Chain A
């Protein structure tokens, strides 16, 4: 390959890049949002909520005494989080979740942070935690310890990103920051 051939190839590539960017459409490969049939999800317990499936409905009483039913939030995107006061990554995550909630509560996104009350240190400590972090989103209380296991919240925090149709789009184990919540909720319907 001599220098002239190289120079011509360089110019052709430059023109091609310009053409692709300014003239042609973007060929970004859109992945189907749902249902997501992943091998790992299928091998799990069939009653366990998996990505691409409907989030099991529930009714719990929140910390301030109100009934919270998941299906009432149909039409909104929901971040369904499972946490406890003694869990350090949950502590790290809460300020990000509060910030995210404040910025997005009027944009059709709801945050439900289910406290695993049956394995937590009493409702006073949950109340103190909520006041300390200034949390304003609903805190449904899993007092009889049924919902956490049903949603496989074994390692906490565990979070489900649910779309406006009530379908689970993502399960995230471990803490998320505000940017990640933003990314995950903006990529779904």
Chain B
């Protein structure tokens, strides 16, 4: 566990990597698609953050009742992370019904976000091989998306399965398959594929 001291607080590398990935993916998406990233992206992150933070109350009820301010300092930990991921999936599933672009953008954006997160985390933890591999993958995905942005292949599910598996392979070189990061990635990928399917089923209905 790598920690960084910023002023009077200590931040785990995971938090810093999340913020870096959030910003880098938004900028990358702006360049790739020529559009601002959807509002859903920031909403989804805010929702994740609030559920993860507030779930401290749920999992540490006694401590919270004795000293309510403790919720400011702590979070729901691994259980809170899972709860927040579930909330994220529910939010995105509801949002996709309103915003058609979400269905189109969810896969590339979530993929960029997660691979960017892994690259940033490996850099912060000074793991050279992992950071190089994840960065190469991030740049390859971004380059592919940019080059093919006006071609039919950009919408092909298969190419995304390929990218997701490439990230899965890179992850599993450095950590066991059934640990928090690979499971989180699998969950995000499943959510994104489900959102992409939504558009296809809608199109068929409308046709």
Contacts and interface: CB of A to CB of B under 8 A. Distances in A.
A13 B165 contact: yes
A10 B73 contact: no
Contact of A6 (B69, B159, B173): B159
Interface string A72-94: 00000000000000001101110
A89 B72 CA distance: 9
Contacts of A180: 1
A96 B63 contact: yes
Contacts of B73: 89, 92-93, 174-175, 177
Interface in B49-70: 60, 62-63, 66-67, 69-70
Nearest to B148: A1
Interface residues of A, number: 37
A155 B123 CA distance: 28
A9 B10 CA distance: 43
A21 to B, nearest CB: 5
Nearest to A13: B165
B103 to A, nearest CB: 21
A7 interface: yes
Given A27-B129, A28-B175, A95-B63, A173 B9 contact: yes
B161 interface: yes
A172 interface: yes
B130 A29 contact: yes
A17 B5 CA distance: 36
B162 A173 contact: no
Interface in B122-173: 125-130, 153, 156, 158-159, 161-162, 165-166, 168-169, 172-173
Contact of A26 (B3, B153, B159, B175): B175
Given A6-B159, A17-B169, A31-B126, A92 B67 contact: yes
A3 B156 CA distance: 10
B78 interface: yes
A155 B168 contact: no
Contacts of B9: 173-174
Contacts of B125: 31
A33 interface: no
Given A10-B158, A88-B69, A174-B9, A29 B129 contact: yes
- Could you tell me the dominant secondary structure of chain B's interface residues? helix
B8 interface: yes
Most buried by A among B60, B69, B173: B173
Contacts of B3: 170, 172
A6 B162 contact: yes
B27 interface: no
B1 A187 contact: yes
Contacts of A175: 73-74
A103 interface: no
Interface string A10-28: 1001101100110000111
Contacts of A155: 8
B130 A91 contact: no
A173 B156 CA distance: 48
A129 B22 CA distance: 42
Nearest to A88: B69
Contact of B10 (A31, A88, A91, A173): A173
A17 B172 contact: yes
